[in-house]
């Protein structure tokens, strides 16, 4: 019985890993050019390759990394950079809590590791994936999804930092357009499955645009996310 269980868990884990890597491929395709742009901009802003790579390893949050690199290049103080990136990344608390709740039966170290790897893109994929009741497969799916995305971001940063002298700043800046294309690519399949997802997404975008007119971008994203999520929960309750 023990051997049968072990074989089943191994097969389930392998299936989860394969599915997670496949789901991460679109994210990796989007991350690499953006990370290359970050590596180029960082080095051009006076940040060393080691520092830029360390930031990608320890922060793993594209928007705040770009903002921090720009602020460093402008000579802004450390306290202002820390506060600004903290506000911008507040939405990660919401996403991380959602992921930790989904995997609440796992050890705290495992859920903490998964929470660290949560980005807008990985969270979108995890949210769109329906729970099938197989926690073993779910765990390996999430881990491989996050690890593949994380590796592509770090590798892209290194490439950008190494080849900074060969990539014009105008080209590196244009690479960030890939981020929007990636979001659209992740959103379209979900909208096809449920029109409510499209309504919630558009609502979130409109709210974020409105809030950004009179408050910081970070707070605008956080408030828009919370309100759009509440609207989504309300619509879901009405449909039951």
Q: Give the tens place of pLDDT for each residue, 68-107.
A: 887 787 777 777 778 777 777 777 888 888 888 888 888 8
Residue 175: phi and psi, rounded to 5, are: -65, -25
The pLDDT of residue 44: 82
Nearest residue to 226 via CA among 93, 63, 101, 102: 93
Helix axes 49-58, 2-44, angle to 10 degrees: 140
Q: What is the CB-side half-sphere exposure of residue 11 using CA atoms within 13 A?
A: 6
The pLDDT of residue 108: 83
DSSP-H helix ranges across the chain: 2-44, 49-58, 62-73, 78-88, 91-102, 108-116, 120-128, 135-162, 169-174, 177-193, 195-212, 217-239
**Residue pointed to by tokens 């395709």:** 29
Residue 59: phi and psi, rounded to 5, are: -100, -55
Q: Is 180 exposed, middle or buried (0-12, 13-18, 19+ CB in 10 A)?
A: exposed
State how far the Cα of 42 lies from the Cα of 18, in Å rounded to an integer: 34
pLDDT in tens, 224-233: 877 887 777 6
Cα 189 from chain centroid (whole Å): 18
Nearest residue to 73 via CA among 99, 94, 100, 52: 52
State how far the Cα of 167 lies from the Cα of 43, in Å rounded to an integer: 12
Q: For residue 163, is pLDDT > 70?
A: yes
pLDDT confidence bin for 217, thresholds 50/70/90: low
pTM of the predicted model over 0.75? no
CA angle 66, 116, 64 (to 5 degrees): 15
The pLDDT of residue 2: 35
State how far the Cα of 43 lies from the Cα of 51, in Å rounded to an integer: 9
CB 225 within 8 A of CB 93: no
End-to-end CA distance of the chain: 41
**Residue pointed to by tokens 């790579």:** 53
State how far the Cα of 104 lies from the Cα of 108, in Å rounded to an integer: 8
CB 38 within 8 A of CB 175: no
The pLDDT of residue 154: 96
State how far the Cα of 231 lies from the Cα of 200, in Å rounded to an integer: 7
């Amino acid at each position: 019985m023990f051997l049968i269980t072990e074989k089943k868990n191994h097969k389930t884990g392998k299936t989860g890993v394969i599915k997670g890597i496949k789901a991460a491929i679109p994210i990796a395709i989007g991350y690499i050019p953006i990370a290359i742009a970050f590596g180029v901009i960082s080095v051009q802003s006076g940040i060393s390759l080691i520092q830029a790579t360390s930031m990608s390893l320890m922060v793993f949050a594209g928007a705040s990394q770009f903002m921090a690199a720009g602020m460093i290049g402008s000579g802004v103080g450390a306290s202002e950079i820390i506060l600004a990136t903290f506000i911008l990344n507040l939405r990660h608390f919401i996403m991380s809590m959602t992921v930790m709740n989904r995997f609440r039966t796992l050890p705290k170290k495992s859920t903490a590791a998964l929470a660290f790897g949560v980005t807008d893109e990985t969270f979108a994929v995890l949210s769109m994936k329906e729970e099938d009741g197989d926690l073993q497969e779910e765990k390996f799916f999430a881990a491989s999804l996050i690890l593949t995305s994380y590796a592509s971001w770090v590798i892209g940063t290194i490439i950008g930092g190494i080849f900074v002298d060969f990539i014009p700043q105008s080209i590196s800046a244009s690479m960030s357009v890939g981020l929007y294309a990636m979001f659209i690519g992740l959103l379209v399949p979900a909208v096809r499955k449920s029109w409510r997802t499209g309504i919630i997404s558009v609502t979130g975008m409109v709210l974020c645009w409105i809030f950004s007119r009179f408050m910081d971008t970070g707070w605008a994203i956080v408030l828009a996310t919370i309100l759009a999520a509440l609207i989504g929960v309300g619509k879901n309750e009405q449909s039951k």
